Every structure is written in structure tokens, then in C-alpha cells.
Structure 1
């Protein structure tokens, strides 16, 4: 575990008028202790009311003490953290997962719009996750998010992505994505089912999908699903045509790399 005291002089406490009761669920005593100290010292407005060492124990505490937020370890004996949601039709609490999962698994967390803290934990990671949980409080999307996450974790390629919209989250099948188009601090997400304006820069989507060979950043304004290209023309500058008849340019500096990436397709 990282010694979080080293960070104390570098960070400010979370400032919020929101009061939230927190439960920590982790089978490791040291992990619980470190997390509790960070929350107490640096997450103003959040009070740790109890700790649990298993899902079964957590369920009993949740039913009795009604916490607003649960910090949940995933890898625990008997039942892993995901099992907690089998006990609630609509969980009455926000959830922040604690995980030491692999790079691919973290990508699955990101596209599933799941709040998580990567072990070894640090003050900044806890603060960021807590702030996000406070902002999204009451959306009650966790069952769907966990379902999408488990689906993404069960296969070698991501199946769905969660788009944060003004009224909550919209989950889109990867196979329905056509392309992402930059619009300043926003991104237009164009799919076969509809279009969405998301308060995220295209760079964030590019980083999120950088290890997925179905996507390529062909232009600073466009990240495309190469499986949805219907035509690649190299006449008068390289362009791509998609299923919705949208024509997208391939940046001159990207052309050679894109040719190699896509296998030298030309028409």
C-alpha cells in the first residue's frame, strides 16, 4: 500500500456542504484503515460510519444503517464485490469500487462509467472518486453499470460504452458506434441508433479506446470505427465514407499510418 501521508501537504480537502454516510467493504484490515483515514482527513462531508469484511456483512450493515456511499473492494473471498448488487433491486447507495485489476479491466471500468479507485490507493484518487460520486448522487444507474461492466469483463473486446449525458448515462453497443466528432470541450457521438452530445473532449475517448483496434483517430476532430467505413477514397485527399453517408477526411500526417493500420485498403 502507498504511504498516503506523503501526499498530505500537497492536497486540499474536498469542500462540500453535502453530508454522506460511508461504508467501507474490504477483507484487508490495512486497506480499510488507510481508506478510512483518507476519507476522514480529506473528504469533508463524508463520514465513515462502519466497515465490513465481506458482502454478507455489508448487506446487513446497509439494511440497518443506510449508508449513502459504499467503498467496495472487488476481490474478496467467498463472494466478490459484484455480488453485493444481487441483494438489491435498486441499490440505495452510491458505489466506488476499489480494484487492482489489469489494464484491460480498467478500460472496462472506464467505458462502463464506473467509479473506481486503483490500488494502491492515494489521497488524490479517493478525492476524485468521492467528488464524482457526490455529483452523480441519486442517478441510480449502478445495476445497469455493473451489468455492462461484467459484460465487458467477460470477453476480450469491449461490448458497450457508457456516455455521460445531462440527465444520466446512455449505454451504447460498440458495434453501433460510427464515429466521434470533436466540438471544443464536447464530443458528438454518432451511432446507427442516434446522435449524442457528450461533455467530454474527443481526446478522452481516444485515450479510452486506444487499445481497441476497431477505432482510429484519423483526424484531430474525428475518431472513427473502422468497421463502419463503407468507402476509403485516396483521390483528391484521403476521405472515408460511413454508413450514414458522412464523409470524413483523413489528416495528411495520419494517412501513411492509417494505410498500414487498415491494411492498405484503396478504392
Structure 2
């Protein structure tokens, strides 16, 4: 289990990465929001945590946020291009990060699926059969 160490003024928190929903930046402070515990505010900027978490399924959709893609429920296109997290929080995605996010999600779906290949593109979702599956259907 991967964990992150968060130092606050009165304690040191050892938090499993999988418990983190998202992080929100406020100048030189970062607030961590979790699944089943109260938020924790640390006096370090979000960029430091981005370096630690980027290779653990985290994505920075906006300069003020770092999200755990494990807890992404959907993408809401009615509010720009917002990420809806498990707790129903809407996280904005900057226009320049939109394409990168779609590439990451597409790659994750390709890895997860052994029998079907899904391509997610802004505006639609399509399902295509792999060549081996097309032969089985005939």
C-alpha cells in the first residue's frame, strides 16, 4: 500500500494514497480531501505533492487541483469540462489539460479491457471489437 506523509502543525498523518479524493491549492497551502476522514491542510504547495503522486494515478486537471483518478465518477460537460468525484465535488479542467486527461483515460481503459477496446473522445464514447473478436463473431 502506497502512503503519503502529511505534516501539519500538530501532527504527522500517514495516509494511503487510495484514500485521497483530491487536493486543492490555496497559495502555499494544500488541502487534502479524503473518502472517510476530515480534510487536512498542510503548509506546502500542491506542486510538491504532484511530484509524489503523479505516478500513482493522480492527475492535475487545473492549477488549483490534483485528483485521484481512482475516484473519478464522470466528466460533466455541462459545467465546462468538470470532473465529478466520488463525493460529487466538481473539479474544473483547464482547456489545455483536457486532451491529456482523455489520453490517460483512454490508456487506462485499454489496459483494463482484455476483450474489448473502448475509445473515449470528447463528445462521445465508442466500442470497437479487436480483430480477434471480429473473427469469433463470423
Give the TM-score normalised by structure 1.
0.39
Partner of 2:26: 183
8 Å Cα contact 1:240-1:248 kept in structure 2: yes
Deviations 1:27-69 (A, max 9, x none): xxxxxxxxxxxxxxxxxxxxxxxxxxxxxxxxxxxxxxxxxxx
Q: After TM superposition, which residue ranges in structure 1, 4 or more long, deviate above 4 angstroms?
A: none
Deviation, structure 1 residue 243: 1.7
RMSD value, Cα? 1.7
Aligned length, in residue pairs: 109
Aligned partner of 1:226 in structure 2 is 69
The gaps in structure 2 that reach 5 residues or longer are 107-119, 125-138
Matches within 5 A, 1:3-42: none
CA contact (8 A) 1:232 1:265 kept: no
CA–CA separation in structure 1 for the residues paired with 2:99 and 2:84? 18
Instruction: Indicate the residue corresponding to 2:86 in structure 1.
Output: 243
Name the CA shift for 1:217/1:175 in 2 (closer, same or farther; >3 Å). Answer: same
Q: Which has the higher helix share?
A: 1
Q: What does 1:43-192 align with in structure 2 at a 5 Å threshold?
A: 159-192=2-35
Residues 145-187 of structure 1 deviation map (CA, whole Å, 9 limit, x = unaligned)? xxxxxxxxxxxxx521110110120111111100010001000
**How far apart in 2 are the matches of 1:172 and 1:265?**
34
CA distance in 2, matches of 1:240, 1:211: 19
The CA distance in 1 between the partners of 2:79 and 2:73, in whole Å, is: 18
String of CA shifts for 1:209-234, please: whole Å, max 9, x gaps: 2222x100000000000010111123
TM-superposed CA distance for 1:262, in Å, is 1.2
Q: Which of 96, 100, 106 matches 1:253?
A: 96
Q: Distance in 2 between matches of 1:244 and 1:223?
A: 15
Question: Highest CA radius of gyration, 1 or 2?
Answer: 1
3-state DSSP of counterpart to 2:21:
strand
Per chain length, whose mean CA-contact separation is higher, i.e. which structure has more relative contact order (CA < 8 Å, sep 6+)?
Answer: 2
Relative distance call for 1:245 and 1:265 in structure 2 (3 A) is farther
Distance apart, 1:242 and its partner CA: 1.1
Q: Which structure shows the bigger proportion of residues in strand conformation?
A: 2
What does residue 50 of structure 2 align with?
A: 206
Change (3 A) 1:236 1:188: closer
SS at match of 1:235: helix
